[in-house]
Amino acid sequence: MLDLAILGLLEERELHGYEIRRQLRDGLGLLANVSFGSLYPALARLEAGGAVEATEADSAPARPAAPPTGSLSGERAVLRARHHQPGRGRRSRKVYRITNEGRRLFVELLAGGAPDDARTFGLRLAFARHLAPQARLALLERRRAQLLQRLAEVRAATGDRELDIYARSVVEHTAEGVEQDLRWLDRLIEAERQSSGPLTAVAGGAE
C-alpha cells in the first residue's frame, strides 16, 4: 500500500524520501503519519526491485522541481531550495525517479486484484487518472460490490441480535456510513459512464 503511494507520487515528479513523507502527510489525508521507519525501507525495496532509481544529489544543481508540465507544489521546493545558498548541499539526499518497471508495477498495484479496506481503495481512486477508463470503472464497481456485501452483513447482524443502545448505535452508524459510500460510488460510476460511454461505446455486458 505504501509502495502504491510512493510510486504514485514519483509518477508526477522525482522526489527524495523526506519530501515524499511531507507530501503524504499534508498532501491527501489518507496515509498521513507514515514514519521514516517504513518509508525508507520501502524505498530501498523498490530500488532493489528496479521500480525506482536513485541519484545522489548533494551540491549539484540537479534540484528536483516542477518541470514545465504544471506548477504544482514543485515551486515551493524551488523557494525552499533558494532559502539556503544554492551550491551548498544539506546532507546528500537521494532523489528517486520512477523507472519503466516502476510504472508497470504502479498500474498493476493500482488495478490489482483484491482491494480490501477503505484506505487502499481511497488511495487507488486518488491515482485513478492513471488508469484506463474501463479499469477505472472496474475498480469502482468492484468496490461497489464489496460494499453491498458488507452492508448485507451489517444488516444481518442488526436484525436478530438484541443490542443495547450504544452497540446498536455503532452498528447503525456503520451501516449509514456504508450507505453513504455506496451513494458516492454510484455518483462516480454515473459520471464515469457519462464521460466514457458516449465516446468509447463500451461493450458492457452485465446489466
Which positions from 34 through 73 interact with DNA, judged by CB under 7 A? 34-38, 40-44
Which residue in 29, 49, 60, 90 binds DNA (CB under 7 A)? Answer: 90
Nearer to DNA, 107 or 189 (CB): 107
Least separation, in Å, of the C-beta of 79 and DNA?
A: 11
Q: Hunting for cell 480490501 — which residue is that?
A: 116
Q: Which one, of 149, 139, 145, lies nearest residue 192 by Cα?
A: 139
Q: Is 19 in the site for DNA (CB under 7 A)?
A: yes
d(CA 171, CA 159): 11
Cα–Cα dist 38/35, whole Å: 6
How far apart CA 162 and CA 182 sit, in angstroms, is: 27
Residue 54: strand pairing partners: 96
Q: For residues 177 and 197, which CB has a smaller minimum distance to a second copy in the complex?
A: 177
Sign of CA dihedral 61, 63, 67, 72: negative
Tell which one of 26, 33, 183, 201 touches DNA (CB under 7 A): 33
C-alpha cell at 106: 504502479
184 binds, among a second copy, DNA, none (CB under 5 to 8 A by kind): a second copy
Secondary structure letter of residue 128 according to DSSP: G
Q: x/- binding map, residues 159-198, to DNA, per CB under 7 A?
A: ----------------------------------------
CA angle 25, 1, 119 (to 5 degrees): 70
Residues lying near a second copy in the complex (CB under 8 A) are found at: 26-30, 32, 68-70, 72-73, 122, 125-129, 150, 153-154, 156-157, 160-167, 169-171, 173-174, 176-177, 180-181, 184, 188
The binding site for DNA (CB under 7 A) comprises 1-2, 16-19, 33-38, 40-44, 83-85, 88-95
